[in-house]
């Protein structure tokens, strides 16, 4: 705590006055501000305060007058070394302070860039989430209608399959009647119809030919129309 009280920590606002004063005077002013009967707090002394400004201005004025007075006297080498040392310390302090200010400005720019990037990313993510939510809501809304359509299609398929079975039965019955009539006719005449499958095949070629026609009739309606097959 004592080190904080004795170590000057003036605000950068008073750099002009501080650059004109030696370290010993700055320490003395700091002590008077923080250790007098009614002292300033460290926060007040380190900030911008009218008492701090008045005391620094007075010290600068006195110090300038003192230096002007000393110019009238021979300047010893010890005084020159002291002043040179104080000036070097001030230059170093100024350089350090300027470097810190530059670093803070760089950090501020980096923070702003990251903030802009994060804001843009959040906006884009929000838009994608909204689109996804809309898509999910849409698909949920059409699920009942889709289920109804599927159920209706399944019923239609069942009906078509039943009709196909019925048609196959009808065609098969028709073929049997035709063949029976043809067999009766052929038994009394020597005429034969090449579009009606014979009861027995005269040769291997004929058997393979009708087997081929059987196969084609499964997917060729014209073949089914043209030829009559035995069950």
pLDDT digits over 187-225, tens only? 655 556 778 888 888 899 989 998 988 888 888 878 887
Least-confidence region, from 25-34, 42-51, 161-170:
161-170
- 196 pairs with which residues across the strands? 228
Residue 192 pLDDT: 65
Residue 43 pLDDT: 93
| Confidence band of 11 (pLDDT split at 50, 70, 90) | very high
pLDDT in tens, 142-158: 999 888 888 888 888 88
Q: Check residues 219 and 105 and name the one with the higher pLDDT.
A: 105
């Amino acid at each position: 705590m004592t080190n904080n009280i004795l170590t000057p920590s003036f605000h950068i606002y008073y750099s002009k006055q501080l650059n004109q004063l030696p370290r010993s005077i700055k320490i003395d002013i700091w002590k008077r501000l923080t250790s007098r009967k009614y002292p300033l707090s460290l926060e007040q002394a380190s900030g911008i305060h009218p008492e701090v400004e008045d005391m620094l201005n007075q010290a600068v004025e006195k110090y300038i007058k003192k230096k002007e007075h000393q110019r009238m006297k021979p300047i010893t080498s010890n005084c020159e070394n002291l002043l040179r040392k104080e000036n070097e310390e001030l230059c170093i302090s100024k350089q350090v302070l300027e470097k810190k200010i530059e670093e803070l400005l760089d950090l501020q720019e980096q923070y702003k860039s990251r903030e802009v990037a994060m804001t843009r990313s959040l906006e884009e993510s929000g838009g994608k989430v909204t689109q996804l939510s809309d898509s999910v809501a849409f698909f949920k809304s059409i699920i009942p209608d889709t289920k109804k359509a599927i159920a209706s299609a399944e019923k239609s398929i069942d009906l078509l399959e039943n009709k196909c079975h019925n048609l196959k039965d009808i065609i098969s019955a028709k073929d049997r009647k035709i063949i029976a009539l043809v067999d009766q006719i052929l038994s009394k005449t020597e005429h034969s119809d090449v579009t009606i499958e014979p009861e027995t095949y005269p040769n291997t070629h004929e058997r393979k030919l009708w087997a081929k026609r059987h196969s084609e009739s499964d997917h060729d309606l014209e073949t089914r129309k043209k030829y009559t097959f035995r069950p």
